[in-house]
């Protein structure tokens, strides 16, 4: 027993001060079901990962878990440790989606999305910034905050990315079974071809849900005869030969 103790002491002595402190922390009272303790261990360990890519990815996953546990402020603290702008955008998405799954109150939702938007504004890389706003709009649509999703999407200056955000919101709204909200999002798209494509996508979504009336209504809003015919064809095939119709 004494030899084991001596070996352990020599091991800790050989570690750097940071690694030694971390090793000592890990020996503290922390069982397998104590999630706050485990999250601290995870964050402390992640702080010591030398490879930026892996460190950022681990922070991203930790931030998502914190959001699911309704620890939004702590999740944002972790978010701010991330260096790569694309990973920042993905983490903003992860926090938003997990906050929705955490069933926050409306006031907590608004506070969360306000904070996420403030974090997105810190991103200096334009493509990552646009992606972050798209993800915020998608999370808002997922939370049935359709007015917020619309406001976020319309604030985007790049027309292509703005239309993409509106289309993504419409798909989420259609998945929720809300034709009215999806139609309003698509109506804000200023590119006719993109608008037709979006209506075609939600028509398929409704057909897959066996909401054939909504599917047909969406198909009728397509201003391209070929695309409209394809949407109706899919709608019919879902009813007549469902076993041969591939899901979207």
**What pLDDT, on the 0 to 100 scale, is given for residue 13?**
38
Pick the closest to residue 153 from 111, 120, 185 (CA basis): 185
Instruction: Kindly report, residue by residue over 132-154, the tens digit of the pLDDT.
Output: 999 999 999 988 999 999 999 99
pLDDT recorded at residue 104:
84
What is the model's pLDDT at position 35?
Answer: 87
- Whole-structure pTM value: 0.76
* Phi, psi angle pair for 193, to nearest 5°: -65, -45
For the chain, the average pLDDT equals 87
Q: What is the pLDDT of residues 96-127, one digit of tens each?
A: 989 888 888 888 888 999 999 999 999 999 88
Under 8 Å between Cβ of 180 and 158: no
pLDDT for the residue numbered 15: 41
The pLDDT value recorded for residue 105 is 85
Q: What is the mean pLDDT of residues 218-243?
A: 93
Q: What is the mean pLDDT of residues 47-71?
A: 95
Nearest of 1, 47, 49, 45 to residue 23 by alpha carbon: 45
Reported as a pLDDT band with limits 50, 70 and 90, residue 245 is low
User: Which segments within 89-170 are labelled E, that is strand?
Assistant: none
Range with the poorest average pLDDT among 3-12, 132-141, 180-189, 193-202? 3-12
């Amino acid at each position: 027993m004494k030899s084991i103790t001596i070996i352990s002491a020599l091991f800790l002595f050989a570690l750097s001060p940071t690694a030694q402190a971390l090793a000592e922390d890990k020996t503290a009272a922390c069982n397998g079901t104590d999630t706050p303790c485990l999250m601290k261990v995870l964050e402390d360990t992640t702080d010591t990962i030398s490879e930026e890519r892996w460190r950022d990815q681990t922070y991203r996953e930790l931030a998502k878990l914190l959001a699911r546990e309704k620890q939004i402020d702590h999740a944002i603290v972790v978010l701010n440790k991330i260096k790569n702008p694309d990973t920042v955008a993905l983490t903003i998405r992860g926090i938003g989606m997990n906050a929705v799954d955490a069933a926050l109150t409306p006031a907590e939702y608004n506070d969360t999305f306000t904070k996420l938007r403030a974090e997105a504004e810190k991103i200096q890389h334009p493509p990552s910034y646009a992606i972050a706003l798209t993800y915020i709009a998608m999370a808002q649509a997922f939370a049935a905050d359709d007015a917020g999703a619309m406001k976020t999407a319309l604030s985007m200056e790049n027309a292509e990315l703005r239309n993409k955000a509106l289309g993504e919101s419409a798909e989420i709204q259609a998945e929720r079974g809300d034709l009215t909200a999806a139609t309003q999002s698509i109506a804000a798209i200023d590119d006719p071809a993109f608008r037709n494509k979006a209506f075609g996508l939600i028509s398929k979504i409704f057909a897959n849900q066996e909401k054939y009336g909504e599917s047909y209504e969406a198909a009728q809003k397509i201003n391209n005869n070929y695309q409209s015919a394809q949407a109706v064809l899919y709608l019919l095939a879902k009813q007549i030969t469902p076993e041969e119709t591939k899901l979207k």
